[in-house]
Structure 1
Amino acid sequence: MNLTKLLATAALALGLATTAMAQDKTKVGFIYVGPIGDGGWTYEHDKGRLAVEEHFGDKVETVYQESVPEGADAERAITQMALQGADLIFTTSFGYMEPTLAVAGKFPNVKFEHATGFKTAPNLATYSARFYEGRAVQGHIAGKMTKSNIVGYIASFPIPEVIRGINSAYIHAKKVNPDVEFKIIWAYTWFDPAKEADAATALIEQGADVILQHTDSTAPQAAAEKAGTVITFGQASDMGEYAPMPRVSSIIDNWAPYYIARTQAVMDGTWESVQTWDGIGAGMVGIGEISNAVPEDVKAEALALKAALADGSYHPFTGPLKKQDGSDWLATGETADDGTLLGMNFYVQGITGDIPN
């Protein structure tokens, strides 16, 4: 064989090897509702993506698209990711449920995972965290620390996940402070710093000295910091840059172990469509460091509550509890079943105002 043929043969072999190596890589995609720098929800999901890269090294390739609106734009983005050869796609917002289901039907060989939804298919799984456990801890601290007895709550959309959080926080604030009142503003967005700041300011003007949020930016933290005497809690991410005040603790979403496990399942050929809903005990929900702005006795009580939630000895929705209209819901000692929680569309007794349609 002459030198030219030898080089050509070697180049061909190298090309085939490179192609085989590329094919061996598992391609994992992520669709985000906000920017990866939001400091909250999307930031934590992207930390999970980076953990996948670190864990698997050159065995994986990850791709992502940020700030994808919920609706038709989402279906186009998910479709494009599937066409580009993704083996596994995580869609990370509730409003992606129908688009994810539609695309999954068109790409039966691609595995899909939808965060916070409830619709599945043979190649579509769902996953979420029991954020309401973290809300119980926040509610306890809020009830203990408010001086005005008014707690403000910035809500995103009137879906069960958000309503559960409001109810859990209120129940636990009310347990330690019978005079507490919740004022709720619906922002109708997951991420809009201007709207979130306006909502926080409006709540502060209504007398709230504690702000809870189920939106993704740090804008409410900044608004509270400006007010000077208002406390807040980090949402989805630690938001520790605002500690020790106004941010006194946080709910932290830890997606990395789940993303690593599900990627491994695709690699192993063991992936199945399942519904995962984990909380503090499993490590999917974390409680950020409670700052020294919180009195030591309140901190100790909050950590004891966290421990009881983690080991399952306490459930945030334990009777006696009534619905907002005064009707009985849970008898003494009775706990809410997951089906009711997943479909929650009512406030508990004591919360004023209506849930928007």
Structure 2
Amino acid sequence: MKKRTFLAATLAATMATGAFADGHEPVKVGFIYVGPIGDGGWTYEHHQGLLAVEAEFGDKVETVYQENVPEGADAERALTQMALQGADIIFTTSFGYMDPTINVAQKFPDVKFEHATGYKRADNVSTYSARFYEGRAVQGHIAGRMTKTNKIGYIASFPIPEVIRGINSTYIHAKKANPDVEMNVIWVYTWFDPAKEADAAKALIDNGIDVVLQHTDSTAPQAAAAEAGVISFGQASDMAEYKPAPRVSSIIDNWGPYYIQRVRAVMDGSWESVDTWDGIGPGMVEIGEITDAVPADVKAEAEALRDSIAAGEYSPFTGPLNKQDGSAWLAEGEVADDGTLAGMGFYVEGITGEIPN
């Protein structure tokens, strides 16, 4: 196994080469990251997936990655350089890499691309995501049961369906657990900015919120929650350094098995363009340890909810549910279809505020 780190400041490094005894070159596997591998959240878990690929295949693969690649033109340049340097498959791990991935894939039809959380595919572009909203349901239940002020807060990144689904799922299940609960959402317009994330957490706490949830990538909200003595949940990664409190549980994105499967498909020639959207059941979304800071009865309820979702017995978006404006959305027992969830652009009834454009 050979690995080369692409630093954010340079795209000019050349990749080392290696070959098997039978003359075959190792499969070159690239990763483009929106944040640093040490963010403790989203990018950290994608990098754990890279390490899983190395552990599985050893010297049959050569891995490369670049951290801190902004979404947009910079991503297109980084992808182009990685393809030129001989990558066989490239994982592009942020929503805003969608158009750059498609654009570069058109120029390199022999390279396989895998785009996380997007929806545009091509003959050499697959898409993959996780049903994070399933984990938000579990977090919402715990939040609703544990809040003492009846106020919970949510730090949101960008107003895209993935994030809106999480907000809605959290609120639905917090409200089921506690009819008096209110939720305040702050949009920070970033995936990773510890200072902004900390400021958002402090603003929520100053407003009387005693449960902080996040769809951003750093551990800064955990630190703010620890300082204020309120509870929080790990996002994308376990954020275990904040156990047993303020972090009382977490959503863990388990990318390793998917990355291994897709790299193996390149190796054996079976790779094809597919769309993957897995959740708790298949193991792509994991619920981190629910600590003893959570009362035993609440923990048991949360685990039962997790298990019912995993078994396919319950969907977090099951009616009756109305949209924010009071119009009917799902009738009693009706389950939202994937198309609606994939394009979700509305709040459910009870959430105050507007979704930014």
- TM-score, normalized by length of structure 2? 0.94
Give 2:315's aligned residue: 315
Aligned partner of residue 316 in structure 1, secondary structure: coil
Give 2:353's aligned residue: 353
Give 2:199's aligned residue: 198
Give 2:303's aligned residue: 303
Q: CA deviation at 1:24?
A: 2.1
Say which one has the larger Rg.
Answer: 1
In structure 1, C-alpha distance between the alignment counterparts of 2:208 and 2:337, rounded to whole Å: 35
Deviation sequence 1:144-180 (CA, Å, 0-9, x none)? 0000000010000000000000000000000010110
Give 1:332's aligned residue: 332
Contact 2:19–2:26, Cα closer than 8 Å, also in 1: no
In structure 1, C-alpha distance between the alignment counterparts of 2:23 and 2:234, rounded to whole Å: 40
Aligned partner of residue 43 in structure 1, secondary structure: helix
In structure 1, C-alpha distance between the alignment counterparts of 2:151 and 2:293, rounded to whole Å: 18
Letter in 2 for 1:199: A
Give 1:14's aligned residue: none
Aligned partner of residue 24 in structure 1, secondary structure: coil
Give 2:87's aligned residue: 86
Give 1:5's aligned residue: none
- TM-score, normalized by length of structure 1? 0.94
Gaps of 5+ in 2: 1-17
Contact 2:161–2:342, Cα closer than 8 Å, also in 1: yes
In structure 2, C-alpha distance between the alignment counterparts of 1:139 and 1:18, rounded to whole Å: 50
Residue 329 to residue 63, structure 1, CA distance change in 2 (3 Å): same
Structure 1 segment 203-282 matched on structure 2, within 5 A: 203-228=204-229, 230-282=230-282
Give 1:146's aligned residue: 147
Deviation sequence 1:296-344 (CA, Å, 0-9, x none)? 0000000000000000000000000000000000000000000000000
Contact 2:20–2:60, Cα closer than 8 Å, also in 1: no
In structure 1, C-alpha distance between the alignment counterparts of 2:346 and 2:39, rounded to whole Å: 30
When the two chains are superposed, the root-mean-square deviation of aligned CA atoms in Å is 1.1
Structure with the larger helix share: 1
Structure 1 segment 17-32 matched on structure 2, within 5 A: 23-32=24-33
Letter in 2 for 1:337: D
Q: How many residues align?
A: 340
Structure 1 segment 149-164 matched on structure 2, within 5 A: 149-164=150-165
Q: CA deviation at 1:23?
A: 4.7
Residue 116 to residue 45, structure 1, CA distance change in 2 (3 Å): same
Letter in 1 for 2:317: F
In the alignment, does 2:177 pair up with 1:176?
A: yes
Structure 1 segment 96-135 matched on structure 2, within 5 A: 96-135=97-136
Residue 18 to residue 105, structure 1, CA distance change in 2 (3 Å): closer
Gaps of 5+ in 1: 1-16
Identity of aligned residues (%): 78
Residue 102 to residue 22, structure 1, CA distance change in 2 (3 Å): farther
Q: CA deviation at 1:42?
A: 0.2
Deviation sequence 1:260-283 (CA, Å, 0-9, x none)? 000000000000000000000000
Residue 312 to residue 18, structure 1, CA distance change in 2 (3 Å): closer
Q: CA deviation at 1:20?
A: 7.5
In structure 1, C-alpha distance between the alignment counterparts of 2:53 and 2:151, rounded to whole Å: 42
Which range is displaced more, 19-28 or 297-306? 19-28
In structure 2, C-alpha distance between the alignment counterparts of 1:23 and 1:40, rounded to whole Å: 36
Letter in 2 for 1:293: A
Residue 209 to residue 268, structure 1, CA distance change in 2 (3 Å): same
Runs of 4+ in 1 over 4 A off after TM superposition: 17-23
